[in-house]
Chains A and B, each alone.
Chain A
Amino acid sequence: MGYKIYINGIGSISAQEEDLFSRGSATIYRENIFPAISPNYKEFIKPMALRRMSKAIKMGVTSAKIALKEAKVEVPGAIITGTGEGCKQDTEKFLENLLDLDEKLLTPTSFIQSTHNTIGGQIALNLGCKNYNVTYTQNSVSLETALLDAQMQFNENPEIGSILAGGVDEISEKITSFQKLDGQLKLNPIKNLDLLREDSTGTITSEGAHFFVLSKEKKENTYAEFQSVSIKNVIKPETIINEIENFLAKNNLNSTAIDAVILGKNGDNRYDYFYKNLQRKLLKNKPQLAYKHLVGDFDTASGYAVFVAAKILKTSKIPAILKLNNVDCKIPKHILIYNQYLGRDHSLMLLSAV
């Protein structure tokens, strides 16, 4: 077995305010595409750098800085970023100009900013961090691959103390709205808090950034232990229970040890059976939680699930707004997170209390 890895800092930017845990009430949206709530980026990024940044870069750099500050880490041993679609706003801008101007008189700024590794590169530039730096872009397991890589890095490089890993995705006017044309988004606007009661196809979407400082050292303000992550591109619905049991066994646990499960339910009735199977069988008597009715579904939305799990493990409080059933748990010790999108890119993560 390798090192124990702890979550010592979190930067979360999403469609919900950070005080959801203390306040208990949620921000309500009535559109199927809604933006993340922006902090004052000027507090984190110099104006000359800020002027070119799209929202993904602003959210990424800012959440990274919040996480590092909380963990009291200045320069991490590695920066590992996950993003499903990267800098969509700049991609869209450059592409629209290219098509409208018939490939003439194009300026380079939006092209430069459109590459998927811009966020990770900008964080490195901002911190002056010359260490390992990679960006994963695998749909709904982009963040998960970043976390998997981080875990491997600790074991391969004993000199690394802390790693910054996270996920970012932004909405853009056109490319995001295209998701209405192929059934990814619900056609009729719904209230976000009603998402999990919907019996229709598609989901709702938003944007956000979640960066985590993972460290080998347990500190006073440590949130939780990041135990493990597993990624599979295709899982047959009937084998999902098996997959989970195998995953837990690899971590020397079984399903009875799980105190709560956070599911990536997104109100899409075409793929809900992956979750329903678990809710009705293996994890029937466990507190079942969901979060996409709060922050929407996007490639790195599972960052919010990791944030929520870490908060619950630290505070032993489960906000009612997350609950799917009435099962309670006094002091949660192990939380399982399961997510998939359109029946592909499945991920399992396990976090434990310290």
Chain B
Amino acid sequence: MNKSVAVTGMGIISAIGNNTAANYNSLISGKHGISTPEVLKTIYKHLPVGEIKISNESIAKKLNLPENHSYTRAALLGALAVKEAIFQANLKLDGDTGFISGTSVGGMDATETYFKDFSEGKTDNNRFIRAQHPGFTTEKIAEYFEVNGFVSTISTACSSGANAIMLGARMIKTGKLKRVIVGGTDCLTKFTLNGFNSLMILSNEQCKPFDENRKGLNLGEGAAYLVLEAEEEINGKPVLGRISGYGNANDAFHQTASSENGEGAFLAMQKALKTAGIPVEKINYINAHGTATKNNDKAESAALERIFSNKLPDFSSTKAFTGHTLAASGALEAVYSLLAIQNEQVFPNLNFSNPMLNPGFIPVTNLKEKPIDYVLSNSFGFGGNCTSLIFSKNGI
């Protein structure tokens, strides 16, 4: 039995493009998507964000939703990405098809918009009351595509999307599902922008992952989903790549900060390599979590050093393209990892100029062409939740 799980479709929307092709074009041409908030109404008009410049109204129109729909922005973005993934995989939607979505704040955009109205007892928009449940956003997407069977939501902050992919792969491997759509979605909200701002980890300029002078992260929004299918379901369909390893561990150090030696990250990568059954030398590219906060990049570098010692492969963080899309980031970066394998290219880590004093790792800063068999993708979140995924080329 093949130990890895086939990916037969993918879809994405982010600040660097509304579909996979557009995202790919931005990645290879070094075109970032960082701007200032226009769709999101906030007092922080100067803060750089990775915003998708499409209003909810126009996405709703694209999806042919009725005017009084109750799709949150995360559901709207999610539905667009799922649509692309399903189309590419020519996916059969039946009782054995599942949907697992990661989201950190789900429908918080609706909650923050209507909170005062609801507090005053106004019922005009009461269809959004349940938007506070992350599961509400997931259900809206499931409803749109009539996925009625196994539907679930994972909310482990910034590793949610990666954990959704991991659960989906496990459910295929254990025969619980034949087909599953997995990924994550998060939109920009005042809640998260102010939250990260109060933690003083937002950069007032474009983020610089792994740079000594990095000043923090740029918040982003986006959605990405993969279609995973069991071997007997593939029937000659093109396989875009495979999920061959995954690992989840908890840092158990601090509520928001990562431990100095990156223990959780180290354990997650170690477990992912173990499930994939490959030695570290096989990894050709690492899509790092690399949020560009002082703490993350330091802890992640320490963990990378512990895993790879002096054999660190090419690595980059793509957060400078998209901003940190929270729960969606693991899913966005899964798509980028698969694109790296398919196109034999390592995408650059933008805005890097000075290596960190310790350990002084230098990411790939210009598009690099080379054959890629295995990609390691990291996603770490608040609450110590660390997840690593390993993607591989089909047929190896």
Contacts and interface: CB of A to CB of B under 8 A. Distances in A.
Given A91-B132, A121-B385, A137 B171 contact: no
Contacts of A139: 133, 135-136, 139
Interface string B119-153: 10111001101101111101100100001111111
B112 interface: yes
Contacts of A127: 252
A98 interface: yes
B156 A134 contact: yes
Contact of A233 (B134, B139, B255, B256): B139
Contacts of B149: 232-233
A290 B254 CA distance: 40
A85 B121 CA distance: 21
Contacts of A182: 123, 126-127, 129-130
B251 interface: yes
A122 B116 CA distance: 31
B185 interface: no
Interface in B30-88: 42-44
A300 to B, nearest CB: 12
Given A84-B133, A115-B157, A142-B135, A95 B167 contact: no
B103 to A, nearest CB: 8
A132 to B, nearest CB: 5
B190 interface: yes
Nearest to B251: A130
B275 to A, nearest CB: 9
Interface stretch (A38-46, A172-180, A189-197, A264-272): A172-180
A277 interface: no
A129 B250 contact: yes
A179 B133 contact: no
A117 B383 contact: yes
A152 to B, nearest CB: 6
A99 B112 contact: yes
A136 B250 contact: no
A199 B157 CA distance: 41
B23 to A, nearest CB: 27
Interface stretch (B6-14, B194-202, B209-217, B365-373): B194-202
Interface stretch (A103-111, A218-226, A320-328): A103-111
A112 interface: yes
B378 to A, nearest CB: 16
Nearest to A146: B152
A293 interface: no
B121 A95 contact: no
Contacts of B123: 181-182
A124 B250 CA distance: 7
Contacts of B43: 102-104
A135 B249 contact: no
A208 to B, nearest CB: 17
B250 A112 contact: no
Contact of A117 (B106, B115, B382): B382
Contact of B163 (A113, A134, A152, A181): A134
Nearest to A105: B198
A94 B251 contact: no
Contacts of A135: 154-156, 383, 385
A88 interface: yes
B308 interface: no
Contacts, number: 202
A149 B127 CA distance: 31
A166 B79 CA distance: 30
A150 to B, nearest CB: 12
A122 B254 CA distance: 9
Contacts of A344: 139
A134 B154 contact: yes
Contacts of A129: 250, 252
Given A121-B250, A133-B385, A233-B147, A108 B195 contact: yes
Q: Which interface class (under 10, 10 to 19, 20 to 34, 35 or more) fits B?
A: 35 or more
B46 to A, nearest CB: 13
Contacts of B195: 94, 106, 108, 111-112, 114
Contacts of B190: 98, 103
A113 B255 CA distance: 8
B132 A125 contact: no
A96 B167 CA distance: 35
Contacts of B119: 174
B126 A115 contact: no
A231 B150 CA distance: 6
A127 B267 CA distance: 17
Given A103-B190, A120-B383, A181-B123, A137 B134 contact: yes
B255 A111 contact: no
B250 A131 contact: yes
Contacts of B191: 91, 94-95, 98, 111
A352 interface: no
Contact of A122 (B151, B249, B255): B255
Contacts of B127: 182
B245 interface: no
A79 interface: yes
A91 to B, nearest CB: 7
B222 interface: no
A293 B390 CA distance: 48
A156 B264 contact: no
B176 A137 contact: no
A182 B174 CA distance: 40
A116 interface: yes
Contact of A106 (B154, B198, B267, B382): B198
7 contacts: A108-B195, A112-B256, A117-B385, A121-B385, A137-B134, A137-B135, A174-B115
Given A79-B250, A121-B383, A182-B123, 4 more contacts: A84-B133, A112-B199, A135-B385, A181-B122
Interface of B: 42-44, 103-104, 106, 111-112, 115-116, 118-119, 121-123, 126-127, 129-130, 132-136, 138-139, 142, 147-157, 163, 167, 170-171, 173-174, 176, 190-191, 194-195, 197-199, 248-256, 263-264, 267, 381-385
8 shortest interchain CB distances as A-B pairs: A121-B383, A111-B195, A116-B155, A233-B151, A234-B148, A108-B198, A182-B126, A133-B250
Interface of A: 79, 84-86, 88, 91, 94-96, 98-99, 102-104, 106-108, 111-118, 120-122, 124-125, 127-139, 141-142, 145, 149, 152, 155-156, 174-175, 178-179, 181-182, 184, 231-235, 299, 344-345
